[in-house]
């Protein structure tokens, strides 16, 4: 297994289907090491903590093909 990219981002408001929603889907790659904290990576936040982030979901991994 090899880490290809570590991506982080902050929640932002976007217009979706005529409504303003807050999403944390937009992530950008970072250079170098990133500190992993108990609830997330440094520089990263989630918009809906009821289903994303937290101590059991601090990091999400995708296969390279996706």
Query: Which pLDDT tens digit goes with each residue over 28-51?
Result: 999 999 998 888 899 999 888 887
Write b or e for each residue in 11-29: b if 16 or more Cβ atoms lie within 10 A of its Cβ, otherwise e: beeeeeeeeeeeebeebee
Domain that holds residue 33: 1-58
**Residue 34, domain member (yes or no):** yes
Higher-pLDDT residue of 38, 14: 14
The pTM of the full predicted model, rounded to 2 decimals, is: 0.77
Number of domains within the chain: 1
**Residue 63, domain member (yes or no):** no
> Which regions of 1-66 does DSSP assign to beta strands (E)?
7-8, 12-16, 19-23, 28-29
What is the predicted pLDDT for the residue at 49?
Answer: 81
Q: Which residues contact 15 (CB under 8 A, 6 or more apart)?
A: 21
**Residue 65, domain member (yes or no):** no
């Amino acid at each position: 297994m090899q880490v290809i990219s570590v991506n982080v981002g902050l929640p932002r408001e976007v217009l979706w289907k005529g409504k303003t929603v807050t999403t944390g889907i937009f992530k950008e790659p970072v250079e170098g090491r990133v500190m992993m904290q108990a609830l997330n990576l440094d520089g990263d936040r989630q918009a809906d903590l009821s289903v994303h982030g937290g101590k059991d979901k601090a990091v999400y991994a995708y296969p390279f093909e996706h």
